[in-house]
Structure 1
Amino acid sequence: MPVTGPIPINGSVAIPEAELRWRFSRSSGPGGQHVNTSATAAELSFDLANSPSLPPLLKERALANLGNRLVAGVITIRAEEYRSQLRNRDAACERLAVMLREAIAPPPRKRRPTKPSRGMIERRLQNKKRRAETKAGRRRDW
């Protein structure tokens, strides 16, 4: 996903680039001389609580589902797995999109409990009897 332009979340929702805040710093970990001089780690901040690009229903759902990831309504993602700042920016954008997609997804339908059919109950009992007979045949009588 290229960094320029809006980040698509689903068919009707996209986050414009103007709502994203970027910070860059040096990555931790190995990388030789390059990593000591380049600000390749990307930190993406998105103000979810005050974003005008999310409809109110989806915003409520996202705030409820991402409550533990938010600090004052802002979600922050840090990407430093690549040695290139551009690739880390792309990775941060992709992670934000996936996170928001999962957060605004509608809740699953409630499971309606069903009763097992009579044939299923009988098959289960037959299998249990057959298994018990198999094991009883292995038993040694003292």
Structure 2
Amino acid sequence: MQSLLPFFILFCLTTVNTGYTQNEDEKAIQALMAEQEKAWSNYDLKGFMEGYWQSDSLTYYSGGRVTKGWQTTLDNYKKGYPTQKDTGTLNFKIDAITQITEDAYYVMGQYFLTLEAGDRNGTFMIIFKRIEGKWKIVADSSC
């Protein structure tokens, strides 16, 4: 029986570490989203938009409307959230980061806005693409 102990220990050591680990792309995407949380919460809408692809092809879908373009999206944020009181504090909960291709992922999750006038929460699905070596949001659907 004592001769089986080393094999049992080896078996345990080789099977314990089967948990999921994030790759570098997923870590970079999470870091970008953390920067967006900070920018939004500091009423830095332009800083928040740094995570988005600065292109007329950027697509944003929310409330049954499709918006095209980086500048249009920023302008809509400025109109919908005119003061720091309106932006409140933003927190994301990422539920899944899924690779589509070598240079694209989709991220599904939830957002939580803490506001004086009452909290707002919702869900999102964002598509990230590596553009010129940097991860950028190319499409966003938020409810």
Range of TM-score over shorter length: under 0.3
Which is richer in strand?
Answer: 2
Which is richer in helix?
Answer: 1
More contact order relative to length (CA 8 Å, sep ≥ 6): 1
